[in-house]
Structure 1
Amino acid sequence: MHMVEFLKHISTALLLLTGLCFFYQTVYLVVSLFWREPKHKPEKPARYAILIAARNEEAVLPYLLQSIRAQDYPSERITTYVVADNCTDRTAEAAEANGARVYRRFDRSRIGKGYALHDLLDWIRRGDGLEQYDAFLIFDADNLLCPDYISKINRTYSDGFEAFHGYRNTKNFGDSWISSAYAVWYLHDSVHLNAARMMLGTTCAVTGTGFGFTRALLERIDGWSFFTLTEDVEFDNWCAVNGVRIGFCREAMLYDEQASTFAQSWKQRIRWTQGGLQVSLLYAGRQLRGMLRGGRTGWASFEAATLSLGGYLLSALSGLSVAVTGLAQSGLRGLLAAVGCAVGGLYVGMAVIGALVLLTEWRRIAAPAYKKLLSVLTFPLFMLTFIPAAVCAVFAKRGWEPTRHTVAIGIGSLAAAPRE
């Protein structure tokens, strides 16, 4: 067989395999357009401990704590804990002034949100006691909760889910094309992926902030023990391979601050990619064993694998095979044509996702109309920059750096923001 024909067959096979592995995301996208609120079981009045890991967050933390105090859920069933993690500002004092119980942590050898949460939970266990709480909710210091967040998430808890995740909106969508791109991605994750998973009876995914778990699950895990650079992804993978079904509550909405400059975003995505590699190496074997179990656990493990190193390598090999085939067939012109088609296809696909997000979530996005429309064009560019970021992450020095948050506004101001 001629070498070019052989390369064509290899390229076609890899593209088909990649398409099959990720086709479920297209199915999710279609299913999500027919969203129906699930039927709920009778509510249980749960007691919640809110966990916030904060490092030099005095500018934004008070607004989160105020939004927690403004919840329509019974206040006697909510206790807020803040771990002031290696702070050099007045984060601890700001937390105490706004009614939180504060644990001051100074540990330069164990750096990262995972360690901070572990130590906070251990502090609660030795003090107030974990047994008085039915469930735990994790938020970042820059978040803002809508007034009915906890009452809505309590419905998902009452439905019997061991872990649960809310709807992740963005409070600074209009700051830049970077912040709007983050916003579109998290909205896509909520209203397309997690909503479809919920409708189809599979397990949902956890991303970053605004998620929770029951005390029973914490005991099963034997305490918070997720210490990679992406502790949320690690927790999500643990749930997938251990058969824990994560529920999604579309009506429990929070607002999150996103990076607004490319430099901030680049550092953050380098860390995310490195953390994803850590999780992939830790869970590759467990993902395979989970897939062999079949059923809901098998599917969740398969999804986790496609979103880990295995899926990334398959995608990279597919792209490389197309480029090599183009080069072998038509030289530099063929290579450029192949790369152009691949990039163009990715751009159009991401633009379609952005447009669908705007179609369904327009009224929920706090930004002027022209910035929303512009995001459809800039979101694909942002996603394409993940490719060089992933390459750089392999060679970059590994480490955790906090993201600086400066958007200090309250939930009332955000609710009044234009949504034309």
Structure 2
Amino acid sequence: MLSFINNFNFVILIFFTLCYSYQFVYAFVALVSKPKTKTAKKLHRYAVIISARNESAVIGELIKSIKQQNYPAELVDVYVVADNCTDNTAEVSRNAGAIVYERFNQQYVGKGYALDYIFNIIHSSPKKDAYDGYFVFDADNLLDENYIAEMNKVFDSGYRVVTSYRNSKNYATNWISAGYSLWFLREAKYLNNARMQLGTSCAISGTGFLIHSDIIKENGGWKHHLLTEDIEFSIDSVIKGEIIGYCGAAKIYDEQPSSFEQSWNQRLRWSKGFYQVFGKYGAKLAKSVVKRRSFSCYDMLMTISPAMFVTIASVFTNLVFLMIGMFSLGNNTAIIPTTLMAIASSFLNFYCILYFFGLLTTITEWNQIHCSAGKKIFYTFTFPIFIFTYIPIAIVALFKKVEWTPITHSVVKSIEEVRQ
């Protein structure tokens, strides 16, 4: 029994290492290679799509940052879907210069349905062929003044879907907001950036992306309505052979939850959404890995599985061993220290790996992180703990029915204030 416990935990560690070792290669590529400089031959015309629910406090600053872009204003239209709002989001958006449509539908709730709603309106209007692409933002976002110009360069080079560098408005608030922020910075620098350098597909992460109008037409609008519509869209696109691009020079800032309750609810939805996506697309991804030998599909398969499933199985198995030891007599009591040592060893191993990526990201993105040096260093230690809190969330998500709920945004800052 004792040797089985040690061997079991060793096998889990080896399994994780084999599955995700390619991400160390990504880190190396991101450190040693420089993105190729791109220029645009054409200034494309875009529509900006913002889905907002009771976002009157923050949406004005987003629209302002769009209006201040170093890009011809006549080539950018801003559309806001005031989705089931009970405040004056629509009024604030109109006053800021956006084209606003109000949607009231309590049956089909969520960002995906709001996107589909506005795309159908545009495609049934005289402007149905006016736009080359659509930007999708959340109401709490802020854009660097060169955002659209930089995204246009990658879009013009042939990518039909482009994602961007995701930073945060409130990194310094506490260990929760910093945990989110550091994860998204790592995702941008050491996942999407490396994928772009290697010519494999990137992945969309929630907000700050650009889609060619042809894709929206091909899909008949926005057809992705699972709880994580962003990763669903990414995986559906990769299965179809689409290569999603990345633009590190296009910087977007968004607000991260700072209370554990709000963070729990949001990540519970994300975890449930990943299970939904795995259930719907897991077999197709695996088939594409085998038949097409698609590394992009393998990468996306590792993104939605099997990490959390294996982690949950590992936690459950070790707890069973621990319970056996607690209720056993005689020599079997040795199971308790052996299991505790195995759990502690696994915890330490994964903590060190997560700390390494958090520290590496903090060092290389030091000037992009807007908080004191002391907090930057401190939050590298809390980053692994933030990631570990996903374990109970993922377990609950397996059994609990989860529905989309809005996240309250209250950090009201201009783009100038964020960068100070």
TM bucket normalised to smaller: over 0.9
Deviates more, 1:8-17 or 1:228-237: 8-17
Counterparts of 2:5 and 2:384, CA distance in 1: 29
SS in 1 for 2:60: helix
Q: Is the 8 A contact 2:171 2:371 kept in 1?
A: yes
Counterparts of 1:329 and 1:147, CA distance in 2: 64
Q: CA distance change for structure 1 residues 144 and 301 in 2, over 3 Å: closer, same or farther? A: same
- Pick from 373, 377, 381 the counterpart of residue 377 of structure 1: 381
SS in 2 for 1:335: helix
Match of 1:133 in 2: 131
Q: Is the 8 A contact 1:47 1:77 kept in 2?
A: yes
Match of 1:220 in 2: 218
- Pick from 294, 301, 305 the counterpart of residue 305 of structure 1: 301
Counterparts of 2:164 and 2:392, CA distance in 1: 31
Match of 1:341 in 2: 345
SS in 1 for 2:281: helix
Query: 1:3-51 CA deviation, whole Å, 9 max, x = no partner?
Result: 6556655554444333211111111112111230214254321111100
Counterparts of 2:382 and 2:308, CA distance in 1: 23
The root-mean-square deviation of aligned C-alpha atoms, in Å, is: 1.9
SS in 2 for 1:157: helix
SS in 1 for 2:42: coil
Match of 2:290 in 1: 292
Counterparts of 1:231 and 1:131, CA distance in 2: 25
1:200 is displaced (CA, Å) by 0.9
Q: Is the 8 A contact 1:69 1:75 kept in 2?
A: yes
Counterparts of 2:29 and 2:177, CA distance in 1: 27
Count how many residue pairs are aligned between Structure 1 and Structure 2.
412
Deviates more, 1:26-35 or 1:402-411: 26-35
Q: CA distance change for structure 1 residues 23 and 93 in 2, over 3 Å: closer, same or farther? A: same
Query: 1:351-377 CA deviation, whole Å, 9 max, x = no partner?
Result: 111111111111111111111111111
TM-score (norm 1): 0.93
Match of 1:28 in 2: 26
1:222 is displaced (CA, Å) by 2.6
Q: CA distance change for structure 1 residues 411 and 404 in 2, over 3 Å: closer, same or farther? A: same
TM-score (norm 2): 0.93
- Pick from 360, 363, 369 the counterpart of residue 359 of structure 1: 363
Counterparts of 2:219 and 2:371, CA distance in 1: 41
Unaligned runs of 5+ in 1: none
Unaligned runs of 5+ in 2: 326-331
Counterparts of 2:129 and 2:237, CA distance in 1: 22
Counterparts of 1:302 and 1:348, CA distance in 2: 25
Query: 1:147-184 CA deviation, whole Å, 9 max, x = no partner?
Result: 00000000110110110001000010111111111110
Match of 2:61 in 1: 63
What are the residue-to-residue correspondences of 1:16-415 with 2, within 5 Å? 16-40=14-38, 42-295=40-293, 298-317=294-313, 330-415=334-419
SS in 2 for 1:111: coil
Counterparts of 1:261 and 1:321, CA distance in 2: 31
Query: 1:269-293 CA deviation, whole Å, 9 max, x = no partner?
Result: 1111111111111101211222123
Query: 1:307-362 CA deviation, whole Å, 9 max, x = no partner?
Result: 22434323444565677789789410011111111111121211111111111111
Counterparts of 2:396 and 2:5, CA distance in 1: 28
